[in-house]
Amino acid sequence: MVEKSLTCLKAAVSDQLENTYTMALLSYTFTLAQNQVMRAKLITNLDKIAATSGGNRHWERPEASGTKTDSLEVEMTSYVLLALLSGPTMPGFGLDYSTGIVRWLAQQQNPYGGFASTQDTVLALQALAKYGAATFSPEGASTVSVNSAGGLKMEFTVNQNNRLLYQEEQLREVPGDYNIKAKGKSCVFVQQV
C-alpha cells in the first residue's frame, strides 16, 4: 500500500508540480522513503524558488499577506529543513545552507518560543531540534558579549555544564544599538525579542 502511494505521489511530481507547500511536504516524504532521486529533484526545485535575504532562506506563498508570520510559510520552510537534515547530505545543501533556514525560522518565533499556530510550532521545533542534533558537539565553549554605545556590557558563557540552559538578560537601553560578538568553539543561538 505504501509503495502504491509513493508511486502515485511520484507521478504527481512528474506532472509539473507547482505548489510550493506540496513540494516541501513531498521533499520530506521522499526523504523518509529514502528515494534520493525524487528528494534531490524536489529540493533542487525548491532551491530555485527560495526567498533569500540577509543570509536568511525561506519559502513563501504568493497569496500570503506579508504583514505577519504566515503559518504555512513556517511549515513549508520547516519541511524543507527536515528533508535536508533527515537524509544524506546533498552537494551544495550542507549545514551552511540549512543555517540560513534556521536563521529565518528563529526570527519567526514569538517571545515564548512558539510560532503562529500549533501545527507550525510542532514542525518548526522538530526541524530546529534536528538542526541542533546535527550541529551538536560534545566539546567546546563560547563567550557571547553584548555591548552598547551607552556603556552597557554583558557577557554570557556557554560551556558543557550550561549549554542546555536558557540565559536571558533585559536590555536597559531600548531603543538602542547593540554589538554582539561570540568567541569560542561551539554553536550558540542568540535572540533579541
Question: How many other CB atoms are found less than 10 A from the CB of residue 180?
Answer: 12
Q: Are 8 and 15 in contact (CB under 8 A)?
A: no
56-91 tens-digit pLDDT = 999 998 877 666 678 999 999 999 999 999 999 999
Higher pLDDT, 32 or 110: 32
pLDDT at res. 193? 66
**Quick one: 23 and 104 in the same domain?**
yes
pLDDT at res. 83? 98
**Quick one: 105 and 177 in the same domain?**
no
**Quick one: 177 and 102 in the same domain?**
no
Which residues fall within 8 angstroms of residue 180, CB to CB, at 6 or more apart?
Answer: 144, 145, 146, 190
pLDDT at res. 113? 86
**Quick one: 60 and 129 in the same domain?**
yes
In a domain, 192, yes or no: no
d(CA 133, CA 94): 14
Domain count, the chain: 2
Evaluate if residue 182 carries a pLDDT over 90. Answer: yes
Query: What Cα–Cα distance (Å) separates residue 93 from each residue in 29, 42, 81, 96, 154?
Result: 18, 13, 10, 7, 35
**Quick one: 147 and 74 in the same domain?**
no
What CATH code is carried by the domain that includes residue 176?
Answer: 2.20.210
Q: By residue range, what is the domain housing residue 173?
A: 142-184
pTM: predicted TM-score of the whole model, two decimal places = 0.83
Q: Determine how β-strand 56-58 pairs with β-strand 51-53.
A: antiparallel
Grid cell listed for 121: 510550532
Which residues fall within 8 angstroms of residue 79, CB to CB, at 6 or more apart?
Answer: 24, 25, 27, 28, 123, 127
